[in-house]
Amino acid sequence: MRDLDITEVAQRSGVPASALRFYEQKGLIAAVGRRGLHRQFDPSVLERLALIALGRSAGLSLDEIASMFAADGRPRVDRKVLADKADELDRSIRKLQSMRDGLRHAAVCPARSHMECPTFRRLLNIAAHTDRKGTKKSSKKSSAARSLKRKSK
């Protein structure tokens, strides 16, 4: 398959050209050459972009993802990193689950005001202590999140 120009890569990957240039600048992807000024990409860049998307979905920062590519450009995914990320996701999931259950309850709770509902108040307590305190120690953790916001534009 012949090389792709930036617009084709953008179309096939769903990643805007501006983002592709940004990724190149960050060293996440590389053009195989130029035709005039225009970047030419090897089709394998699509796979790499999928890998990047995966990393982002798992909550990795672009810098973290960059460090997962060896100097030769081939992915060098540390299995321990994967396991750690999985564990981290697991913690996030649990937190979100209790949040969801609490919200669900509050939505149907018969108490006149949410403040009078014990379940809601318990939820409040969880949130109050979970938030700035619960995970503060675990620095640089549970980034597994912005991803979701990012997806929805």
Partner DNA sequence: TCTTGACCTCAAGTCGACTTCAAGTGGCAC
Partner DNA sequence: GTGCCACTTGAAGTCGACTTGAGGTCAAGA
Q: Which of the ranges 1-9, 24-32, 34-42, 144-152 carries the binding residues for a second copy, by CB under 8 A?
A: 144-152
The set of residues, in sequence order, having a beta carbon less than 8 Å from that of 75 and lying 6+ positions away, is: 48, 51, 68, 69
- Partner interacting with residue 22 (select from DNA, a second copy, none; CB below 5-8 Å by kind): DNA
Give the single-character DSSP code of 69: B
Query: Cβ contacts of residue 106 below 8 Å, gap of 6+?
Result: 114, 117, 119, 120, 123
Which among 35, 33, 39 has a CA at the least distance from the CA of 18?
Answer: 39
| Residue 77 binding partner per list DNA, a second copy, none, with a CB distance cut-off of 5 to 8 Å that depends on partner kind | a second copy
Q: How many other CB atoms are found less than 10 A from the CB of residue 39?
A: 22
We find the least distance from the C-beta atom of residue 37 to DNA, in angstroms, to be 4
Question: Which of 24/37 has CB closer to a second copy?
Answer: 24
Per the CB < 8 A criterion, the answer to whether 35 and 41 are in contact is no
Q: Residue 33 or residue 63: which is nearer to a second copy going by CB?
A: 63
- Contact residues toward DNA (CB under 7 A) are 5-7, 16-19, 21-22, 35-39, 56, 61-63, 146, 150
CA angle 18, 19, 22 (to 5 degrees): 90
Q: Is 119 in the site for a second copy (CB under 8 A)?
A: no
The residues binding a second copy (CB under 8 A) are 13-15, 47, 49-51, 53-54, 56-59, 74-75, 77, 79-80, 82-83, 85-86, 89-90, 92-93, 95-97, 99-101, 103-104, 106-108, 113-115, 123-125, 127-128, 130-136, 138-153
